[in-house]
Structure 1
Amino acid sequence: MDECHHGAAQTVEDVIGAAKARYVYGLTATPKREDGLEKKVFMQFGPIRFRYTAKERAQKQGIAHYVYPRFTRLVSPIDLKITEANRGSIFDMNTYETVYEKDLLEANKDIVISSPGLNQSKVNAFIRLIKQRQESGVKLTIVTLDPEGYPEEKIEDTRLLVRLLRDNAINVHLKEHMHEHFAIIDDEIVWYGSMNLLSRAKADDNLMRVKNKEAAIELFEITFG
């Protein structure tokens, strides 16, 4: 089954249960689900037998890869102003942290982070890191999934993390559904990709960094309307 991360759905469960095949294989680029229901997927298909990341594929192909950001509105390529410096700014879980934290610590006005997931260690580290910028007047906003939408065993822990952020004077905007992973610093520096910036990163997660006000405006429109 392709896109087998949908195996947590009742319809898929019924179909797989009715299949008479001796072996059932699943393919997916996203075995980890934001709602925590990947356990049901593993019950349907068994454990992961083989991984092949986009980074490994790119290395094997030997072809340079460049990412040019596009969101929902049509933006002139001239207005986007992607420079040579921006064009190569692609990071993975092992390379982004130093540059990302430097951007956070140099913020002068505001920081907006959209991270569907939260975990204790990342939230605590963020609060410690950003304390000095807060004291200098930088406004912080976190967009994340409403804890009430989590699996029952994760609801209370996520509520406590939301409360911890708010207790540290961070504005938290809860959403019932969301998929965007990004950070916007001073309405101009944009980090965008597949990584939960306040939760666990995965080996195949990537982030791009661009300095572009138009891209920031588009993400604000997607997130806040």
Structure 2
Amino acid sequence: MKIDRIHVATVHRFQGGETDIVIFDTVESPGVKIAPMLGEVDKKSDTACLLNVAITRAKYKIFLIANLQYLLESKNGLHKNALLREIIRRFKNNGKVIDCKKIVNSYFIRDFEHWITRLLNSFRSDVIEPPNGSLFTEKNFYPVFFEDLRNAKKEIIIFSPFVSVRRSVQFAELFRILIQKGIKIKLFTRPIKEQKSNFALDAAKVIEQMRKIGVEVIERKRMHQKIAIIDKKIAWEGSLNILSHRDSHEQMRRLPYIKAVNELIRLCEIDELSTESIHNKIELVKTFEQCPKCGEYMIIKIGKYGPFLVCPNPHCSKRRSIKKWDRIKTHILCPKCGHPMVFIWGSKGSFLGCSGYPKCKVMLPYAGSKIDKIKK
């Protein structure tokens, strides 16, 4: 079928009209709240009529674009009685589900690569390039920083004491693509309980999402540095929280100097696994064990009679015991090889061992255990 033109409009504007093919894009994903129309549960409401319009305007074929994992499986997704959930179920039963990665692996390739480059170039004005070429404000930092990230070859390290969903989602897709290219990404941020007000609500979501795409997230107590280091050749340092900034006036300085970069690495103890940083990192160990009641990833806690798994959802709090020598896969990555660490309750206490054993023999101490040194 030859397509002569494409008409883009809201559902409201399509009322009373028809077209050969309809593409219905829901757009909802992590970081975006479910629109009232898509979350509607009342079949007699005006919203139900609009959804009916959306799926009945096509003469021959309709395509529904949706993030199924977010809409159907996440706790922030659709209500169990939402009309869109029923529509998706019918599409799955009567149509064909196609993974978007089979069509386009990333928005940062093909034509989008061209357009994102043009977008970045459009920012390059006298405002973007300050007189001294190194000092940037919140108005011109991100375009130049994104270009540095896209040119990374080996490693990206970001210190952002606070993280927000709104800002972090702008990085997630690019991080995923860079990781697929073999680039290691480390994110240092404060523990969830140290994230302020609304950031505390966002932090758990951001940390979980970052770990899912392969970012190594290290929770460090009382950190305040706002730094980024790319390939140990370029550093950004200043007052702007890279993964949470919203509307405050801040400054960041670009330092393409090896000596300055090495000094920041030394001061931030990036290359050292001190006892303090290890305990900060494993203070609350999240596992890949899902709560049988609500589906949340369970965390490990140490009780009077030994370790146990507990659901972090305050409305659930489901728990189960851990037996001696059980191997519980965690979200913590091995500092040597990058494999997930496994929690084990052994005869001498609790510890984290690399899942790559016996090729990798790294062990990390766990709070309350008798192992007090890193073994490699």
% of aligned pairs identical? 26
Q: Could you tell me whether the CA contact under 8 Å between 1:195 and 1:201 is conserved in 2?
A: no
- The structure carrying a bigger helix percent of its residues is 1
Q: Could you tell me whether the CA contact under 8 Å between 2:167 and 2:246 is conserved in 1?
A: no
Give the CA deviation at 1:159: 1.6
Give the CA deviation at 1:151: 4.8
Task: Give me the TM-score of the superposition, normalised by structure 2.
Answer: 0.35
For the residue of structure 2 that corresponds to 1:108, the secondary structure is coil
Q: Which residue pairs with 1:182 in the alignment?
A: 227
Q: Which residue pairs with 2:148 in the alignment?
A: 103
Q: Which residue, 229, 249, 252 being the options, matches 1:204?
A: 249
Q: Could you tell me whether the CA contact under 8 Å between 1:140 and 1:171 is conserved in 2?
A: yes
Give the CA deviation at 1:160: 2.0
For the residue of structure 2 that corresponds to 1:113, the secondary structure is strand
Distance 1:163 1:208, change over 3 A: same
Matches within 5 A, 1:161-180: 161-180=206-225
Higher relative contact order (CA 8 A, sep 6+): 1
Describe the superposition over 1:22-76 as per-residue Cα deviations: whole angstroms up to 9, x where unpaired.
Answer: xxxxxxxxxxxxxxxxxxxxxxxxxxxxxxxxxxxxxxxxxxxxxxxxxxxxxxx
Give the CA deviation at 1:150: 3.2
Distance 2:196 2:246 in 1: 20
Q: Which residue, 131, 135, 141 being the options, matches 2:180?
A: 135
Distance 1:151 1:131 in 2: 27
Distance 1:219 1:86 in 2: 25
For the residue of structure 1 that corresponds to 2:182, the secondary structure is coil
Distance 1:122 1:152 in 2: 16
Q: Which has the greater radius of gyration?
A: 2
Distance 1:152 1:101, change over 3 A: closer
Distance 1:119 1:102 in 2: 21
Instruction: Quote the RMSD (CA, aligned, Å).
Output: 2.1
Distance 1:152 1:220, change over 3 A: same
For the residue of structure 1 that corresponds to 2:171, the secondary structure is helix
Aligned partner letter, 2:207: V
Aligned partner letter, 1:119: S
Give the CA deviation at 1:132: 2.1
For the residue of structure 2 that corresponds to 1:199, the secondary structure is coil
Q: Could you tell me whether the CA contact under 8 Å between 1:86 and 1:209 is conserved in 2?
A: no
Q: Could you tell me whether the CA contact under 8 Å between 1:96 and 1:207 is conserved in 2?
A: yes
Describe the superposition over 1:69-103 as per-residue Cα deviations: whole angstroms up to 9, x where unpaired.
Answer: xxxxxxxxxxxxxxxx9943111111112111110
Runs (4 or more) in structure 1 with deviation over 4 Å come to 151-154
Matches within 5 A, 1:81-96: 87-96=132-141
- The structure carrying a bigger strand percent of its residues is 2
Q: Could you tell me whether the CA contact under 8 Å between 2:163 and 2:199 is conserved in 1?
A: no
Task: Give me the TM-score of the superposition, normalised by structure 1.
Answer: 0.58
- Unaligned residue ranges in structure 2 (runs of 5+): 1-129, 273-376
Distance 1:153 1:115, change over 3 A: closer
For the residue of structure 2 that corresponds to 1:177, the secondary structure is coil
Q: Which residue pairs with 1:157 in the alignment?
A: 202
Q: Could you tell me whether the CA contact under 8 Å between 2:165 and 2:205 is conserved in 1?
A: no
Give the CA deviation at 1:187: 0.4
Distance 1:152 1:101 in 2: 28
- Unaligned residue ranges in structure 1 (runs of 5+): 1-84
Aligned partner letter, 1:208: R
Give the CA deviation at 1:201: 3.9
